[in-house]
Amino acid sequence: MNKVFIGCPVRNRAWVLPVYLDHIKNLDYPKELVEYCFIINDCTDNTSEILQDFAKNQKNKVKLVTKNLGSEDRHERGWYSFTRLTRLRNYLLEEFLKSDCNYFFSVDSDILVPPNALSQLINNDCEIVSALVCNGHEVGNTNIYNILKKVDGNSWHFITDFSREGLFSVDCTGAAYLIKRNVIEKHNVRYSSLYGAEDIGFCEDVKRKGIPIYCDGRIECRHIMNKIYL
């Protein structure tokens, strides 16, 4: 079976980390085939301590990397620059390539994955495939998900009409997605802030290199954008 590397950059997430970690720990996948890695950056809460306790209590390999890039004035959602997030996500890709894992399961620290998510995504055998994540709670539109199509060559539109019975093609995704190793190692795909959000830069690079991106409409994660959603 395939070995899987799971992780994300983490900053000031003590309020949601215990629940997040429980969900990735409880994925329905052989524990001995999973490694974790978290890029800890510029935290002012007890994020580091929570992750250290998690690492001590896991039989799986857990790597914690601290990359402080200098604090900004705000740490709420949306206040960390795309340039910094790009650097942090690319640090994570470097750690993935140091492992012998076949897949990287990128799961942001405010995403709660269902138990079957990883097994189902691997069964799809795609180069890149995401789960559904609703991004619209805070703007009052629950039809907004982590899936976009590029229209007229330069305009990004959220996909609102999609199948929940299997795979469908997208041009951009984020939040919770599975990446085969060759996408990073062979095709040298990386995150970029050139187009704004780092996930868009990543997906632009993917599409330029002729790699299809899919979403599995059968798998939906919970997006904990605020403490009130816990």
Sign of torsion over alpha carbons 50, 55, 58, 63: positive
Task: Tell me the C-alpha distance between 203 and 196, whole Å.
Answer: 12
The domain spans of the chain are: 4-229
What's the whole-model pTM score?
Answer: 0.94
Q: According to CATH, what is the number of the domain 4-229?
A: 3.90.550.10
Task: Tell me the C-alpha distance between 16 and 45, whole Å.
Answer: 12
CB 87 within 8 A of CB 143: no
pLDDT tens, N- to C-terminus, the chain (230 residues):
999 999 999 999 999 999 999 999 999 999 999 999 999 999 999 999 999 999 999 988 999 999 999 865 544 444 458 999 999 999 999 999 999 999 999 999 999 999 999 999 999 999 999 999 999 876 678 899 999 999 988 899 999 999 999 999 999 999 999 999 999 999 999 999 988 899 999 999 999 999 999 999 999 999 999 888 88
Q: Which DSSP symbol is given to 167?
A: E
pLDDT score, position 229: 86
Helix (H) or strand (E) holding 199: helix 198-208
pLDDT score, position 76: 46
pLDDT score, position 230: 86
pLDDT score, position 125: 99
User: What region, left, alpha or beta, does residue 158 occupy, with left being phi > 0 and alpha being psi -120 to 50 degrees?
Assistant: beta
pLDDT score, position 7: 98
pLDDT score, position 170: 99
DSSP string, 72-88: -S--STT-S-HHHHHHH
Q: Which DSSP symbol is given to 13?
A: -
pLDDT score, position 175: 98
Residue whose C-alpha is closest to residue 120's, from 166, 162, 159 = 166
Query: Count of CB atoms within 10 A of residue 140's CB?
Result: 7
pLDDT score, position 71: 60
Task: Tell me the C-alpha distance between 118 and 113, whole Å.
Answer: 9
